[in-house]
Structure 1
Amino acid sequence: MHAPDRGDTFDHPALFYRTAEEYLAGTVPFVRAGLAAGEPVAVAVPAENLRLLRAALGDDARAVRCLDMREAGRNPGRIIPGVLRAFADAQPAGRRVRIVGEPVWPDRTAAEYPACVQHEALINEAFRDRAVTILCPYDAGRLSHRALSDACTTHPAVVLPGTPARHVSLAYAPRTAAARCNLPLPPVPHAACHRFDADRLTDVRHLATDEGARLGLTGTRLQDLGLIIAELTANSVVHGGGSGTLRVWAEGAAVLCEVRDGGRLTDPLAGRRPAVPDRPGGRGLLLVNMVADLVRVHTGPHGTTVRCRLAVG
């Protein structure tokens, strides 16, 4: 599937595939067309599909930036700043960029999936009017009907299995898709609730890291928890009404933390823009996205909740 030349506009098609052959038929020509046009090309897909693509591309794979999306995009909230924008922003000004990005795969968890939909919806805002094409493969043979339906809502065009033609998605409504995923988070199991304000930021961070250590976090992961707590609680004090609450608990092989405050998050791309050099501030939620394994946010008229997951071990 060759993406048409769309000048300086952003292009974001979804590719539905059922077999490895269909996957390669949709992605390999896309990559090679970009290389032939002198466009920087990146591929960020799960490791098993990355192996397929590298083998099919042969020597051409050496000219492509390749990333395992299971690692680089484990937290969907870091894909825009840490994968897509990181690659696109590093290229010469005025040169069109081409990316294959596969953020949704069949074993994404139920907790991760809404964050994936929000990510796909927000790509359209993050790259508006930029000379970038991002092709997003979807495994139509193993993903749910809901996932394929959501892909039609977050992508303006779809390529169906076994056909090279692009079809305009009549369901395209990315803001609606993002809003549908802004739902109250599941209830927190029994966990101590720590209230904080500007005078208790250090105390509450120590309480959280002590609890994280008790629940099995060590080394860098424990430091990551401390960073997350420091950034989220400071944001609550500065932007969320001056105070908030914190909880830390275990869930399976992970430690979760949650910060609630009375503020309302109005910028849908908060935490998804790369840091601007020499500009102070604006890095708190970005840092959280970059170190957490999953970040879920719910914001509404009564406040904002940010919940983060860190794997143990």
Structure 2
Amino acid sequence: MTAFDHPGLLYHNTADYLAGTTAFARAAVAAGEPVLVAVPGDNLTMLRDELTDLGDAVTFADMAEAGRNPGRIIPGVLLAFAARHPGRRVAAIGEPIWPSRSGIEYPACAAHEALINAAFAGVAATVLCPYDAGRLDPAWVDDAWHTHPVMIESGQRKPSPWYTDGVTAAAAFNQPLPPIPDAAATWEYTAARELSAVRAFARGQAREAGLLGDRGEDFVLAVNELAENTIRYAPGGGVISTWTEPGRLVCQVDDGGHLTDPLVGRIPPSVNREGGRGLLLANQVCDLVRIHTEPGSTSIRLHMLL
């Protein structure tokens, strides 16, 4: 086995799911590896019941909450778990894509799956990713063969003939965002001295949408961080657009920069990685972050549930 192993598990019913996931967890515990189970809803309840005898060798997390924004799964769930067990190989069951995920969320989910391969390159870990092949959009299941080096189906493990590498696979999901509504409120900025006005604009938009208290301030903080990134790294300033969709406040920040590091916002910055703190923070506090970037243009769209 390579240092990092990232298989996808295709399941068609509950029996398939339990057979693949519990065998994986039990084998990892038997090998002395700490195990993280991060899956959504009913699947989490089932696995808690099935693995109760393993005690504190297994840590559980509700992916519908911890991974509601796919952009925070790598830093806030997977890397955080590995960091709690330095010097040890770790194992995780991570299910970031489930049937009720929306089409708006999906490109960020698929990009996350691809970028796990880059974020964990050389790390002693295994991340098993279950896919509900019976209920997911068939195109989403097909994508799993492009984002995972290995696939498991009916108990058989085989290399994916369509996998290349994580960065190449993720590039397929760097897709243009849906159009901004004509009625969106907008604010332009060019310099650091305007950041107080940016925050006032964002706070007013949050209040008007009914996003109050700490959630409203999280939104203001995320918008401010992205605007500050524009001023620091992109030419010509930027434009903020906000509007509401059913059940959510949406904000898009557009500027003339280009994000060349696909892991920006997913890996905590270090001395070897310039920038990224603003996008990392936005991923932490927002319910969804979508990005489209190309030379001379970057659009980052923040979603906050109301």
After TM superposition, is the score higher than 0.5? yes
Moved more, 150-159 or 207-216: 207-216
Rounded Cα–Cα distance in structure 2 between residues aligned with 1:282 and 1:147: 29
Equivalence for 1:178: 170
CA contact (8 A) 2:167 2:262 kept: no
Compute the displacement of 1:219 (Å): 0.6
Alpha-carbon distance in structure 2 between the residues aligned to 1:203 and 1:294? 24
Structure 2 unaligned runs (5+)?
none
Q: Are residues 1:271 and 2:297 paired? A: no
1:101 matched to 2:97: no
Out of 118, 130, 133, which is 2:126 matched to? 133
Aligned residues: 302
- SS where residue 29 of structure 1 aligns? helix
Of the three residues 117, 132, 156, the one matched with 1:165 is 156
Structure 1 letter corresponding to 2:177: L
How many angstroms does 1:275 deviate by? 5.0
In structure 2, C-alpha distance between the alignment counterparts of 1:66 and 1:276, rounded to whole Å: 28
| 1:26 correspondence with 2:20 | yes
Name 2:186's counterpart in structure 1: 193
Match of 2:140 among 147, 169, 175: 147
- TM-score (norm. length: structure 2): 0.95
Q: Partners in 2 of 1:175 and 1:235 — Cα distance?
A: 23
Q: Distance in 1 between matches of 2:49 and 2:270?
A: 37
The question of 1:215 aligning with 2:206 is answered no
Q: How far is 1:177 from its partner?
A: 2.8
Paired amino acid for 1:155: H
Which runs of no fewer than 5 residues in structure 1 stay unpaired? 1-5
Q: Does 1:246 align with 2:237?
A: no
Q: Which moved more, 1:200-209 or 1:230-239?
A: 200-209
Runs of 4+ off more than 2 Å: 173-177, 274-277, 279-282
Name the counterpart of 1:38. 32
Paired residue secondary structure (1:193): strand
Stretch deviating more after TM superposition (118-127 or 194-203): 194-203
User: In the aligned structure 2, how far is the partner of 1:68 from the partner of 1:223?
Assistant: 25
> 2: distance between equivalents of 1:56 and 1:258?
43
- Residue 242 of structure 1: CA displacement? 5.0
Aligned-pair CA distance for 1:281: 5.4
Q: Is this contact kept in 1: 2:227–2:253, CA < 8 A?
A: yes
Contact 1:212 1:248 in 2 (8 A): no
- Partner amino acid, structure 2, of 1:186: P
- Within 5 Å, give how 1:37-56 maps onto structure 2: 37-56=31-50
Question: SS where residue 153 of structure 1 aligns?
Answer: helix
Determine helix, strand or coil for the equivalent of 1:77: helix
Distance in 1 between the 2:266 and 2:222 partners? 15
